[in-house]
Amino acid sequence: ICFFLSQKPKSELVRTSLRLLTSSAYRLQSECKKTLPVETCPTTDIQLVTQQVIQCAYDIAKAAKQLVTITTKENNN
């Protein structure tokens, strides 16, 4: 991801997909940390955290699919 971000892609679609991929990865990391025993407290709603993790994983897959679609189209042109 860092390689792509440092290259300043010309396509706005690529930049948007990379932003979604990056932000979702950071969100996923943050949500997963909430499940660690050290940070788990009685007020942690594991069901909500699980839903957030699933949403983050979905967003990562969506962004990855967008990037594959875009680069495939660009390579075929």
Rounded to whole angstroms, how far apart are CA atoms 58 and 55? 5
Q: Is the pTM of this model over 0.85?
A: no
Answer for the pair 1, 60: CB distance below 8 angstroms, yes or no. Answer: no
Mean pLDDT of 38-64: 83
Enumerate the domain spans of the chain: 10-74
Tens digits of residue pLDDT in 25-46? 999 999 888 877 755 566 668 8
CA–CA gap between residue 49 and residue 27 (Å, rounded): 11
What residue type is 74 in one-letter code? E
